[in-house]
Each structure stands twice: as C-alpha cells, then as structure tokens.
Amino acid sequence: LCPQMNLLLREYLLSGEVAEAEHCLRELEVPHFHHELVYEAVVMVLEGSGEEPVAKMVTLLKVLWETGLVTLDQMNRGFQRVYEELGDISLDVPLAHGLLERLVELCFDHGVITRALRDACPAR
C-alpha cells in the first residue's frame, strides 16, 4: 500500500495534476488508510528540497480535504505521526523542523488543518 501511495505522490509532484492524483487515490479503494497518504505526503515534503514541493503538497491536501477524500481525523492522524517521528526524521533531514513549520503554517492558512493541529506542531 505504501509503495502505491508513494508512487502516486511522486507522480503528482512531477506532473502537478491534482485530478489525476485524486483519481488514483480513489482507485486504491482504501479510504481507511488515507491518513497514511497524509503522513507520506508530509514526509516527502520534509525529505524533498525547495519551495515547489511544499506548495504542491498543500494544494493536493487542500483538494483531498475539500472533496472529503481525507477526513479531519485522517488529516490529524497523518500530521501527528510526523510530529511524533520528527526527532528521527531530523536525524536524516536536519532542516525538517523548519520545513514542517512552513508546511503546517501554509496548510493552516489554506484551511487544510485546524488551529489545534497547527499549535501541536513541535517547536524547535
């Protein structure tokens, strides 16, 4: 399941085609695992580089949120797992904290995540 979601996210970052990513996610038919997609998306941004992946992932998460493909609970679970694993992620990606803070702010500004989830983001 993870390799399929990972591929979906990688293809999306290359193409920028939100509708195609949404279609692929629906085709997987695993709605109870959509929190995993949120988690993978955030980690992919942290492991990536530059601003473009950040902006693209915010756009994708916003669409998945607005279409109801990702629920509030799934969004929260995905982000919270990243928060919990940030220490480990930071070992491989020293800039992870700053990137996460930026991503969380953008997601909040675009109405993708709640204030409570934004405020739960670990501070450096």
Domains and their CATH numbers in the chain: 1-120 (1.25.40.180)
Q: Give pLDDT, residue 123.
A: 80
- Angstrom distance (rounded) from CA 115 to CA 71: 16
pLDDT exceeds cutoff 70 at 106:
yes
Q: Give pLDDT, residue 1.
A: 63
Measured from the Cβ of residue 70, the count of other Cβ atoms closer than 10 Å reads: 25
Q: In the chain, what is the straight-line distance between the N-terminal and C-terminal CA atoms, in Å?
A: 32
Q: Give pLDDT, residue 82.
A: 97
Q: Give pLDDT, residue 92.
A: 93
Where do we find the tokens 């491989």? 92
Q: Give pLDDT, residue 57.
A: 95
- Report field, pTM of the whole predicted structure over 0.85: yes
Where do we find the tokens 């290359």? 14
pLDDT exceeds cutoff 90 at 97:
yes
- Angstrom distance (rounded) from CA 47 to CA 31: 25
Q: Give pLDDT, residue 75.
A: 97
pLDDT exceeds cutoff 90 at 73:
yes
pLDDT exceeds cutoff 70 at 87:
yes
- How large is the greatest C-alpha to C-alpha distance in the chain, in angstroms? 39
